[in-house]
Amino acid sequence: GIMPDTKKFIENLSGAGKCIGVLTSGGDAQGMNAAVRAVVRMGIYVGAKVYFIHEGYQGMVDGGDNIKEASWESVSSMLQVGGTVIGSARCKDFRTHEGRLRAALNLVQRGITNLCVIGGDGSLTGANLFREEWSGLLDELVQSGEISEEASQIYSALHIVGMVGSIDNDFCGTDMTIGTDSALHRIIEVVDAIMTTAQSHQRTFVLEVMGRHCGYLALVSALACGADWVLIPEMPPKDGWEEQMCYKLSESRMRGSRLNIIIVAEGATDRHGNPISSNAVKELVVRCLGFDTRVTVLGHVQRGGTPSAFDRILASRMGVEAVLALLEASPGTPACVVSLCGNQAVRVPLMECVQMVRKSFENNLNTYKLLSHRKIDSELPHSSFNVAVLNVGAPAAGMNAAVRSAVRVGITEGHTMFAVSDGFEGFYKGQIKEIKWGDVGGWTGQGGSLLGTKRYDYISKGLLIHNINALLVIGGFEAYLGLMELQAARSKHAELCVPMVMVPATVSNNIPGSDLSIGADTALNAITDTCDRIKQSASGTKRRVFIIETMGGYCGYLATVGGLAAGADAAYIYEEPFDIRELQSNVEHLTEKMKTNILHRNYTTDFIYQLYNEEGKGVFDCRKNVLGHMQQGGAPSPFDRNFGTKIAAKAMQWISKKLKEFYREGRVFANTEDSACLLGMRRRALVFQPVVQLKDETDFVHRIPKEQWWLRLRPLMKILAKYKTSYDVSDSGQLEHIVRLRAKDVSAI
């Protein structure tokens, strides 16, 4: 027989006759609104009815006006709002049997048998209990005559899909929970602000961040800002930590650092379970060292503010995924949680998540330990290998974090690290010098590239006068081409036979072999910030259409994903050819509903602007905005800092391994395909891929990969902007068990 076509398309999934209730519960988190918006619009798109359940479980128990049908318009302009618009309450009633009975009655009366719960683990555990009791609750309602026997048959199964919204990122089975990235943005904004004042006054700052049982925020923000010390509940410090910490602080002052930052999670304890408060840490520093020390407690600031681009995209993708999971659920499927693992949508049984303690951040912990504690020279292995780091191509935010990480890991592994300024040109100009541990302090928070990234025209033969044994290249398409050329020239130049690895860093995100590149997240945030401001300015005026041009050469990643995060109506990109007819129909579509627009260049921005201006006369006026270099500048986002830090550390560890492997008779000689690699994020793992093998995946004329994963997100943007479109859902997450997940991914992150 012929294999059935495995592709599933959205057109074949019907939600007709289904009712979905959406609620947010527990503590609020930025991005919850984006999730609610996606559930509502996707639900309506597939023909289901969607109901808001206001005030979480309390609204479900109280019924009445708390449960309202949602319309398409009822979720517009909530994408950029923090918190949750439909309200969230802690609910005592739902914990009682009586409360759950009333909730069941309210749902049955409206025919709602599909619930999408956005909240922390408490909320999701509650939902699961409710589902287990469902048929019993219906029997009771039939007995008391509140519902008919017939109704209990029709509504006999309750389906539940959860999304984790919790800024602590304390949930097992999910890489990132909704709101975590935004909370990191708030923390990093504060740290960056503090750093400037601490620099002026030579101060020590103790920063307390949220996390009663989970040190994720503390740990990752410590990684992202290069803090001197971090205290988290998962890893109580050894006895005698006080002296150790004070020694480290005074040592870094002696090396000329003017500030110290200590990050404390609110739940931090010592080995004996005694809490360590931020004030206690301050008193300790003052007592031992006499440093001028201040405490800053971040508190609820971390839950505030607008959601970051990452959270909007995560929440939008998850909201759509949740509706698909509900459409595909049968009475036998367990309640599941939708989430992202790496860049891959997954579904995990809810109870497995709740029962397992989360351990995935051990990788973050190890990276932090590697980078923050300088070893004494006598402790270091001495490898006598020389490793050079260079940035090639246009600057991208996060490059410096990558260099810092690479240099420190390299020194820890015993290599002598060299920095090459101005990319490949720096080699023959002799702009190459040894770089030490302290030289890269404070680099994580700086935008652009401190090494300089001049584009190269030719590579001189004098490339390797400095006896460099390995090469780490950080950059965009130029770097990728350069690495290929170097590899190809190995047959003529034996000096080029050294391990080389490239880490992708470019705002365009157009590198074959990697789903993401350093700098793209920062650029997306620049785009969403601009769009948010534009939306605000436009809300007070008469109806307007805004056209925004993003960077990216022929690669439409920023336009597409930026469009999804900003709630744009259309994104015009090179990869999906469009003609005047399509533009025309978009203009008509807008004439009906009026909002903003993002695009990519090819038809020029001016042309599209004029078209919209002509056609929209009398209905809306038109403004345009070219974002240009704003997208490359600015401080890197927490995501880019961490991605840069982790990926560069992994690249350096690979270099160490290869150096040992290819060391023969007193020299390094590497001439195999797998000794010139690109390290990229592929779906859910970081993988080393020989550049030779990536050749066939590359469109060299347009400088883009031939297949781009994010093109699959384009229909989402269209659906969420009310266009009828075909959406291939064969890639939606499959139900997986956590155990399998863990083993595969431990090496990945």
pLDDT of residue 390: 87
- 458 CB-near residues (< 8 Å, 6+ apart): none
If one counts every other C-beta atom within 10 angstroms of the C-beta of residue 725, the result is: 14
If you average pLDDT over each of 174-183, 359-368, 491-500, 654-663, which comes out highest? 654-663
List, as one string, the DSSP characters of 379-406.
GS-----EEEEEEESS--TTHHHHHHHH
pLDDT score of 461 = 46
Q: Is the pLDDT of residue 678 over 60?
A: yes
CATH class of 365-518+636-698: alpha beta
CA dihedral of residues 425, 426, 427, 429 (deg, nearest 10): 90
- Among the residue ranges 1-15, 108-122, 440-454, the one predicted with the least confidence is 1-15
Give CA angle at 14 (13, 17), nearest 5°. 155
Structure confidence at residue 665 (pLDDT): 80
Q: Determine which of 28-32, 288-292, 325-329, 638-642 has the lowest per-residue pLDDT on average.
A: 28-32
Q: What pLDDT score does 622 carry? A: 53
Choosing among 3.30.300.30, 1.10.10.10, 3.40.50.720, 3.40.50.460, the CATH entry for 180-302 is 3.40.50.460
Q: Are 503 and 389 in contact (CB under 8 A)?
A: no
Backbone angles phi, psi at 69, to 5 degrees: -70, 140
pLDDT above 50 (res 741): no
- Catalytic residue numbers? 168
Average pLDDT over residues 393-422: 87
**pLDDT tens, position by position, 288-320:** 999 888 898 887 767 767 888 888 888 999 999
Write the DSSP assignment of 85-110 as a string of letters.
Answer: TT-----SGGGSHHHHHHHHHHHHHH
Helix (H, G, I), strand (E, B) or coil at 242: helix
Q: Does residue 154 surpass a pLDDT of 80?
A: yes
Specify whether domain 520-632 bears CATH 3.40.50.460: yes
Residues 6 or more apart whose Cβ sits within 8 Å of residue 185: 305, 308, 525, 637, 638
CA angle 388, 453, 650 (to 5 degrees): 45
Strands 432-434 and 470-475: unpaired
> Which of these ranges, 251-265, 581-595, 596-610, 689-703, has the smallest mean pLDDT?
596-610
Question: Does residue 318 contact residue 327 with C-beta atoms inside 8 Å?
Answer: no
Share of the chain above pLDDT 70, in %: 76
Lowest-confidence region among 104-118, 269-283, 329-343, 368-382? 368-382
Higher pLDDT, 724 or 708: 708
Q: Lay out the sheet containing 416-420: strands in order across.
A: 432-434, 416-420, 386-392, 470-475, 500-504, 676-682, 685-690
Pairing relation of β-strands 344-349 and 336-341?
Answer: antiparallel
* CA–CA gap between residue 342 and residue 184 (Å, rounded): 18
* Pair 645, 367: CB distance under 8 Å: yes
- Name every residue whose Cβ is closer than 8 Å to that of residue 257 and which is 6 or more positions away in sequence: 438, 441, 442
Question: 452-456, 532-536, 690-694: which range is least confident on average?
Answer: 452-456
Rounded Cα–Cα distance for residues 97 and 138 (Å): 13
pLDDT band at 78 (very low <50, low <70, confident <90, very high): confident
Judged against a pLDDT cut of 60, whether residue 286 lies above it is answered with: yes
Task: Please tell me whether residue 672 adopts helix, strand or coil conformation.
Answer: coil
Q: What is the pLDDT of residues 209-237, one digit of tens each?
A: 987 777 888 888 888 888 889 999 888 99
Residue 601 above 50 pLDDT?
no
Among 440, 463, 467, CA closest to 451:
440
Tens digits of residue pLDDT in 457-473: 334 344 556 788 899 99
Q: Report how far apart the first and last C-alpha atoms of the chain are (Å, whole number).
A: 41
Answer whether residue 634 shows pLDDT above 90. Answer: no
Please state the domain extents for the chain: 10-177+307-355, 180-302, 365-518+636-698, 520-632
Instruction: Map tokens 């090469």 to a residue.
Output: 471
Is 697's pLDDT higher than 50? yes
Contact 347, 323 (CB under 8 A): no
Flag whether pLDDT at 637 surpasses 70.
yes
Identify the residue with better confidence: 622 or 346: 346
Look at residue 462 and give its three-state secondary structure.
helix
At residue 745, the pLDDT reads: 37
pLDDT band at 731 (very low <50, low <70, confident <90, very high): low
Q: Is 649 left (phi over 0), alpha (psi -120 to 50) or beta?
A: alpha
Q: What is the mean pLDDT of residues 141-168?
A: 89
d(CA 517, CA 398): 10
Query: CB–CB of 655/501 below 8 Å?
Result: yes
Per the model's pLDDT, the better-predicted residue between 91 and 705 turns out to be 705
Return the CA Rg of the chain.
27
Helix (H) or strand (E) holding 547: strand 544-549
pLDDT beyond 50 at 4: no
What mean pLDDT value characterizes the chain?
79
632, pLDDT greater than 60: no
Which two three-digit tokens encode residue 260? 């110290």
Q: Which of 281, 324, 293, 351 is nearest to 20 (CA)?
A: 324
Q: How many CA atoms lie within 13 A of 623 on its CB side?
A: 13
Q: Round to whole Å and give the CA distance between 297 and 284.
A: 17
Backbone angles phi, psi at 6, to 5 degrees: -80, -15
Query: Which CATH number among 3.10.28.10, 3.40.50.450, 3.40.190.10, 3.40.50.800 corresponds to the domain 10-177+307-355?
Result: 3.40.50.450
Measured distance CA(734)–CA(338) in Å, rounded: 10
Task: For residue 599, name the pLDDT band (cuts at 50, 70, 90).
Answer: very low
Question: Is pLDDT at 736 greater than 60 in this prediction?
Answer: yes
* pLDDT for position 521: 92
Would you mind telling me the total number of residues written for the chain in this entry?
Answer: 749
Task: Give, as one character, the DSSP assignment of residue 712.
Answer: G
Give the pLDDT of residue 81.
77
Predicted pLDDT of residue 687: 93
**What is the distance between the alpha carbons of residues 582 and 588, in angstroms, rounded to a whole number?**
10
Q: Is the Cβ–Cβ distance between 549 and 627 less than 8 Å? A: yes
Q: Is the pTM of this model over 0.85?
A: no
Per-residue tokens: 43: 């639900």
d(CA 111, CA 30): 30
Q: Which helix (H) or strand (E) holds 685?
A: strand 685-690
User: Do 520-632 and 10-177+307-355 have the same topology in CATH?
Assistant: yes
Asked whether residue 600 carries a pLDDT value surpassing 60, the answer given is no
Residue linked to tokens 């990926």: 647
Helix (H, G, I), strand (E, B) or coil at 676: strand
How far apart are the C-alpha atoms of 539 and 307, rounded to whole Å?
19
* More confidently predicted of 67 and 10: 67
SS (H, E, C) 13-41: CCCCCCEEEEEECCCCCCCHHHHHHHHHH
- What residues have CB less than 8 Å from 404, skipping those under 6 apart? 226, 371, 440, 441, 443, 444, 645
Going by C-beta distance under 8 Å and a sequence separation of 6 or more, which residues neighbour residue 393? 423, 453, 455, 475, 476, 477, 478, 479, 506
Question: Confidence class of residue 198 from pLDDT cuts 50, 70 and 90?
Answer: low
SS3 label, residue 709:
helix
Concatenate the DSSP letters of all residues of 259-328 into one string: -EEEEEETT-B-TTS-B--HHHHHHHHHHHH---EEEEE-GGGGG-SPPPHHHHHHHHHHHHHHHHHHHH
Cβ–Cβ < 8 Å for 370, 454: no
Whether the per-residue pLDDT at 134 is higher than 80: the answer is yes
